[in-house]
Structures are given as structure tokens and as C-alpha cells.
Amino acid sequence: MERTFIAVKPDGVQRGLVMEIMSRFEKRGFKLVGIKILNASEELLTKHYEEHVGKPFFPKMVSFMRSGPIVATVWEGKDVVNQGRAMLGKTNPTDSAPGTIRGDFGIDLGRNVCHGSDSVESANREIKLWFKDEELANWESNQTKWLY
């Protein structure tokens, strides 16, 4: 089954939105297989955002991502990468529809509350970057037969 990497950024953690965001994924029926809170290093963030290295906004973004802890999670389910991005909303919260996480809780591009992998390849890469194999739980959910 497909997996994605979803993170609550430092603004989301500081604003007490962790459970609200997790709850949306849980209620949708996605299965939580990894979760932790951490202060991310510059090295980890540079690898995570490697596609943006050298862009003008990169240093400010990394410094924001290091301004407080991040809640890192892995979710499993059908089409979870695309569905996760849809649930997050557009990159800029002012473009995000109400009902999405960024559309409900964000205003500014640089403080957009959460991260979600943008493809299955990115998800696999990001999951490996943020979690060791033994930090991920492979478990059977009793909900599965009612969801699929």
C-alpha cells in the first residue's frame, strides 16, 4: 500500500495544530505508521528540500524550519500521496481552498503549517530520510475491510 510523508511545520506545532492535522488523516481512513517530534538539523532539511537548494527563499525557509520542533509522520493508504497533497491545499495558503489544512489555518506562503510529499518517489525518499526502518510500524487496521 502507498505511503506518504506528512510533517507539521514549526508554526503548526507552536499553534497547537498537531492533533487537528493528524485527526484529519486518521478520520479519512489513512493508517498512521510513523510519528515523532524532532528539531530538524540543517543537514536533514537541506536533503529534504534538495530541489530548492540555491533558490532565493531557501535560507529563510530552512531557518524557519529550524525555529522549533517538527512533527514528522508517515501515513499509508490508497492514493495517499495525492490525497495528502489535496488535504494540505496549495503551497500558498491564500490560494488554498477552505476545507484544506492550509486554507483553514494558513495565510502566508512562508508559514504554511504543513508539508506533504509531492510524488510517490519523493515520499519514498523522504520517509527514508526522516525515519529508520525500525521506527515504522507495520500493523493491521481493523478499519481496512470497511474502507476498501
Q: Give the span between the Cα atoms of 87 and 8, in whole angstroms.
A: 13
| Nearer to ligand RTP among residue 91 and residue 144 (C-beta) | 91
Residues 12-29: b if buried by 16+ CB within 10 A, e if exposed: bbeeebbeebbebbeeeb
Q: Verify binding: residue 109, ligand RTP, rule CB under 6 A.
A: yes
Q: Give the span between the Cα atoms of 55 and 77, in whole angstroms.
A: 33
Q: Verify binding: residue 110, ligand RTP, rule CB under 6 A.
A: yes
9 is in an annotated binding site: yes
Active-site entry in 115, 117, 130, 131: 115
Residue, CB closest to ligand RTP: 91
Q: Verify binding: residue 67, ligand RTP, rule CB under 6 A.
A: no
Please report how close the Cβ of residue 2 comes to ligand RTP at its closest, in angstroms: 17
Q: Give the HSE-up count for residue 76: Cα atoms under 13 Å, Cβ half-sphere.
A: 14
Looking at 83, 116, 130, 131, which residue binds ligand RTP (CB under 6 A)?
116
Residue at grid coordinates 510529499: 117
Q: Which residues are annotated as a binding site for ATP?
A: 9, 57, 85, 91, 102, 112
Q: List the catalytic residues.
A: 115
